[in-house]
Structure 1
């Protein structure tokens, strides 16, 4: 299977294209693919169907960039920590970013992605550092199980603090509640453009770390023997991870499990080579996010279920399976 990686990557791109088309065509008002194509190539402002398609374009683009960021961050996080349970949601990064955003709203009255993004970066980075420091305590160091437990414990504590702030301020709760569940509905181009430079920077760093992650997967001693500066390699890759997590969380809210499920799924096609795991994750993670968003639009019509809830429905059973099967040694 790994020998046909390029062909499978092309299939993954086709799957992503289908997800994009579905995102533009399906919703409370369904349209044919022909109508979608006509709206994209021969837009008529007087045609209601064309107008609906154009309102869905920013939502689809946000699903693309946020999903790609979460997929890359999850795959790289698993490689850096050598922990198959690593994910921005499980490792406390999303919780740190969410709490920082709430504090920004509560203390400074910020609003919009351009304001959220800086607080989300600080919160994501601080949570990642705290989780690693807690897990590093003791003789065995930061083992996969200790990292997962530290991340779960920190997430619970941070969300508790966040809830205290929310119940004490109705205005903060009103601004935050729709962002909290995670989703790509209601987005516009200003939101996407605010986070795009950070997403591109983080993606460039992480996509260039494939060889480094392959070395780290062999263990720190072997990586040093191959000439790697392990501390520097982890630091640079972690910078890319935090940049991706912070930007994606600021734009779309704390969407969980995308970065956990997709990297494990793509290993069936790629094997353990991160030079292929990363691009596959970058393509298939937005396909999963967009498919979840489309499903959320139609499952409870005329209401919508946010994409963050739909990805949790898919990802939670996978997480339980990984824990029960003890996959910690597979990386």
Structure 2
């Protein structure tokens, strides 16, 4: 027998072979997406059934199923439709916005520890609320929301102008430095105004703890278009942003403009984070940890990261809001406090195990 016959048939090197490292990566993402969607639906149902009051879950379920006696109960309708439904909608909107904003910000700065307050949105929103309360006699929750939104967007606009002034492109380092400097400045201005107005401080203290209590359906739906626009920009920017992760020179070689990409992404982050902060107050850690959890499943693929970041953050936000109603019933715990109690130790654990650095640069894949 010849050597050629012993070796077997020749291998066609022109046909690509799919190895296990290439093919199954999309499958965990699909399974994780389906599981997170199912979990979110279940949590939304629980959010409508569970409250800090004494309304039984069975009666709330009867109302949702259309039981005539339950539908005739005015107190039950108030609990389910006027209290729980608005905050459920708000929790999904805020979680989705913060998850996507955090994912975008980590990708554009190439920093897995970046979070949504980096562009000065939180400090700008706080200053806007204080100015509205002190100098314009704002008293309604909707008025506070408007001033928070205006303040957050104005702060982010100033950060972008400072980062891009005198330069053809906006670098990640300049964005971080401008955001940190302006955030500290706005924080000092906010403290100065609060020192002389006790009534403003009382209202501001309630807003700044971060809570979904008292959100109305009209308020949540009025902020939804901003979040939808921000999500649309995020989806459209995912491919250019993936190219930017390869480096500015590589992005230019592929036909993209790095400075323009960063400005567009920063605009999307401003819309998403500004809307979320205006609706629920400052929420820490969620925009940082949700993208990290998404990268554990998706790897560096940015489009998949955006989807899973939104779902993870929405699930966590709804679950935290449910827990906030029952931890110290019949009172409520601010949802930001629960997220901080969970997020702080989790972030320390991630840093100690070096898992954050082991995932590579955010958004490094197509």
TM-score (norm 2): 0.79
User: How many aligned residue pairs are there?
Assistant: 326
Give the Cα–Cα distance (whole angstroms) in 2 for the partners of residues 17 and 222 of structure 1: 41
1:76 aligned to which of 81, 104, 107: 104
After superposition, the Cα gap between the structure-2 partners of 1:204 and 1:135, relative to the gap in structure 1 and judged at 3 Å, is: closer
Residues 258-267 or 79-88, more deviating: 79-88
Shift of 1:177: 2.1
Helix, strand or coil at the partner of 1:27: coil
Structure 2 residue runs without a partner (length 5+): 1-23
Report the alpha carbon displacement of residue 48 of structure 1 after superposing the two structures with TM.
4.2
Instruction: Summarize deviations over 1:279-306 as a string: whole Å, max 9, x none.
Output: 1112221111111111122222222111
Determine the C-alpha separation between the residues in 2 that align with 1:217 and 1:180: 35
CA distance in 2, matches of 1:49, 1:109: 34
Going from structure 1 to structure 2, the CA distance change for 1:121 and 1:319 (only over 3 Å counts) comes to farther
Equivalent positions of 1:233-272 (< 5 A) are 233-272=261-300
Name the counterpart of 1:14.
Answer: 38
Shift in Å, 1:158: 3.0
Offset of 1:78 from its aligned partner?
0.9
The C-alpha deviation readout for 1:209-252, integer Å capped at 9, x for no partner, is: 22122112212121111111111111112111101111111111
**Structure 1 169/288 Cα, relative in aligned 2: closer, same or farther at 3 Å?**
same
Relative to structure 1, the CA distance from residue 105 to residue 48 in structure 2 (aligned partners, 3 Å threshold; closer, same or farther) is closer
Structure 1 Cα separation of the partners of residues 286 and 133 of structure 2? 26
> Contact 2:134–2:200 at 8 Å: present in 1 too?
yes
Distance 2:328 2:297 in 1: 34
Alignment of 1:119-134 (within 5 A): 119-127=148-156, 129-130=158-159, 133=162
State whether structure 2 residue 204 is matched by structure 1 residue 180.
no
Of the structure 1 ranges 186-195 and 109-118, higher mean CA displacement relative to structure 2 is found in 109-118
- The offset of 1:179, in angstroms, is 1.2
Does residue 44 of structure 1 match 2:80?
no
Question: Mean Cα displacement is larger for which, 201-210 or 28-37?
Answer: 28-37
Gaps of 5+ in 1: none
Structure with higher Rg: it is: 2
